[in-house]
């Protein structure tokens, strides 16, 4: 095969992006918990399944995308400095977009600033060998949640309390604490998801054998970590109830959903047992490993199944080719709908818009609107220097 030829798209990876986007739609539209007739709380399907896992999948796919984009730029003839220039500009554009739209919807923890910073930092790992990236990502996800917990507890309350925006640049210390440690997506830990994405991007994802190994290994690890978390956590429900000041009957729902009305698990962070929580967005050791394994399994399953679905697979992959457009679009649309429409109606409106965009992209092979803008502004569409230069005179 010609090393400069463009390989076929990984339809399963595109479909995994769609799954991550739909999961975040659900987490932002539906409640994570509900109250039963007897007054006790229980997690909803969204709270038990989508919350936390969708955003981790989104972040891991960022690492996969970065690897694929780097290969694409290298095939075009870009030098290493030019590749890093494109990646840095791409990162800054996404972060700026996040700062622009974040204040429009404070009901959602907008991930784009963190996503952009991830793109800015991850190129440091691109020169590592595949084996080294696997080892570093595994160690990062194992060690950083342990180091993060006491630091986050010490700095409790030292967060922005809102989505990062340009005015926060006036308080850089607080902004860095929020983005790296105390915020909703602490990059001190979440950087490991990006590293794992780079490791996955270095594997032959188009191979069914590789996809099957990822699906089986990821699913097995995810179930094992979830079981371990619940077995360990069930032994200190009373300590959680005392720290969070909730009834013992509500602790199960709190552990699954991560929050109840005016209640979070933050007061329990001082207890080392926090590391065993199987709770979404807790940044505990158990949930970090569980969510990473879920993402690996999802990518493996999508790579196994979606390429075999023909036109349906192409349609699903088409919608997944515009993750930035879909994510930013729903952030801007939600405040316009949530005061007037019930959650289920909003959900179907978002799904219909996603389907329409996916169908258009599948038929035209075009790029999503925001994806196109980022690609042009970052210089990824530019011709490599000297490619079209006239040959020297003989």
Report CA 370 to chain centroid distance, whole Å: 18
pLDDT reported for residue 303: 96
Q: Which residue has the tokens 């994570």?
A: 32
pLDDT band at 392 (very low <50, low <70, confident <90, very high): very low
User: CA angle, corner 182, sides to 176 and 188, nearest 5?
Assistant: 70
Beta bridge partners of 260: 263
pLDDT band at 387 (very low <50, low <70, confident <90, very high): low
Q: What's the mean pLDDT in 17-23?
A: 95
What is the overall mean pLDDT for the chain?
91
pLDDT-above-90 percentage for the chain? 74
pLDDT reported for residue 1: 38
Query: What is the C-alpha to C-alpha distance for residues 376 and 369, in angstroms, rounded to an integer?
Result: 11
pLDDT reported for residue 79: 84
Token pair in block for residue 273: 């047992």
Most confident listed range (1-5, 50-54, 293-297)? 293-297
pLDDT reported for residue 170: 95
pLDDT tens per residue, range 115-143: 999 989 999 898 889 999 999 999 999 99
Least confident of 86-100, 156-170, 177-191, 305-319: 305-319
Query: What is the C-alpha to C-alpha distance for residues 28 and 180, in angstroms, rounded to an integer?
Result: 23
Report CA 70 to chain centroid distance, whole Å: 19
Q: In this structure, are strands 41-43 and 33-35 parallel, antiparallel, or unpaired? A: antiparallel
Spell out the residues 6+ positions from residue 60 whose beta carbon is closer than 8 angstroms to its own.
193, 194, 196, 197, 200, 292, 295, 296, 299
Query: What is the C-alpha to C-alpha distance for residues 12 and 206, in angstroms, rounded to an integer?
Result: 9
> Do residues 136 and 125 lie in contact, with contact meaning Cβ atoms separated by under 8 Å?
yes
Q: Is the pLDDT of residue 2 over 50?
A: no
pLDDT-above-70 percentage for the chain? 95
pLDDT band at 383 (very low <50, low <70, confident <90, very high): confident
> For the purposes of burial, counting CB atoms within 10 Å of the CB of 379, is it exposed (0-12), middle (13-18) or buried (19 or more)?
middle
Q: What's the mean pLDDT in 225-242?
A: 95
Regarding pTM above 0.85, the answer is yes
Q: What's the mean pLDDT in 247-255?
A: 91
pLDDT band at 191 (very low <50, low <70, confident <90, very high): very high
At 35, give phi and psi (nearest 5°). Answer: -105, 130
Print the SS3 string covering the chain. Answer: CCCCCCCCCCHHHHHHHHHHHHHHHHHHHCCCEEECCCCCEEECHHHHHHCCHHHHHHHHHHHHHHHHHHHHHHHHCCCHHHHHHHHHHHHHHHHHHHHHHHHHCCCCCCCHHHHHHHHHHHHHHCCCCHHHHHHHHHHHHHHHHHHHHHHHHHCCCCCCCCCCCHHHHHCHHHHHHHHHHHCCCCHHHHHHHHHHHHHHHCCCCCCHHHHHHHHHHHHHHHHHHHHHHHHHHHHHHHHHHHHHCCCHHHHHHHHHHCEECCEECHHHHHCHHHHHCCCCCCCCHHHHHHHHHHHHHHHHHHHHHHHHCCHHHHHHHHHCCCHHHHHHHHHHHHHHHCCCCCHHHHHHHHHHHHHHHHHHHHHHCCCCHHHHHHHHHHCCCCCCCCCCCCCCCC
> Do residues 44 and 30 lie in contact, with contact meaning Cβ atoms separated by under 8 Å?
yes
Closest among 332, 374, 372 to 353, alpha carbons compared: 332
Q: What's the mean pLDDT in 204-216?
A: 95
> Do residues 97 and 89 lie in contact, with contact meaning Cβ atoms separated by under 8 Å?
no
Query: What is the C-alpha to C-alpha distance for residues 267 and 206, in angstroms, rounded to an integer?
Result: 45
Query: What is the C-alpha to C-alpha distance for residues 241 and 235, in angstroms, rounded to an integer?
Result: 12
């Amino acid at each position: 095969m010609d090393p400069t030829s463009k390989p076929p798209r990984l339809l399963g990876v595109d479909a995994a992006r769609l799954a991550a986007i739909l999961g975040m739609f659900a987490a932002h539209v539906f409640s994570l918990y509900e109250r039963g007739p007897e007054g006790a709380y229980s997690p909803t399907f969204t709270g038990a399944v989508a919350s936390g896992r969708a955003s981790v999948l989104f972040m891991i796919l960022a690492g996969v995308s970065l690897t694929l984009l780097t290969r694409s730029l290298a095939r075009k003839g870009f030098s290493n400095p030019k590749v890093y220039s494109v990646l840095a500009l791409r990162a800054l554009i996404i972060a700026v977009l996040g700062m622009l739209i974040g204040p429009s919807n404070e009901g959602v923890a907008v991930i784009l600033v963190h996503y952009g910073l991830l793109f800015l930092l991850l190129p440091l790992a691109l020169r590592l060998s595949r084996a080294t990236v696997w080892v570093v990502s595994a160690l990062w996800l194992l060690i950083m949640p342990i180091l993060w917990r006491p630091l986050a507890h010490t700095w409790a309350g030292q967060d922005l309390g809102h989505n990062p925006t340009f005015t926060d640049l006036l308080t850089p210390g607080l902004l860095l604490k929020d983005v790296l440690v105390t915020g909703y997506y602490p990059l001190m830990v979440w950087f490991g998801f990006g590293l794992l994405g780079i490791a996955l991007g270095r594997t032959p994802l188009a191979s069914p054998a590789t996809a099957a190994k990822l699906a089986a290994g990821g699913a097995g690890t995810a179930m094992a970590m979830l079981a371990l978390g619940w077995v360990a956590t069930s032994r200190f429900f009373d300590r959680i109830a005392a720290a969070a000041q909730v009834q013992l009957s509500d602790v199960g729902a709190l552990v699954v959903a991560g929050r109840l009305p005016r209640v979070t698990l933050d007061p329990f962070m001082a207890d080392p047992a926090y590391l065993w929580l199987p709770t979404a967005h807790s940044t505990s050791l158990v949930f970090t490993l569980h969510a990473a394994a879920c993402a690996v399994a999802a990518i493996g399953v999508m790579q196994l199944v979606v390429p075999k679905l023909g036109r349906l697979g192409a349609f699903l992959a088409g919608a997944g080719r515009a993750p930035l457009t879909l994510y930013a679009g729903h952030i801007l649309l939600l405040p316009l709908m949530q005061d007037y429409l019930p959650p289920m109606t909003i959900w179907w409106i978002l799904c219909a818009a996603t389907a329409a965009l996916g169908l258009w992209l599948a038929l035209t092979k075009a790029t999503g609107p925001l994806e196109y803008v980022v690609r042009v502004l970052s210089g990824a569409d530019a011709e490599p220097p000297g490619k079209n230069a006239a040959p020297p005179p003989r």
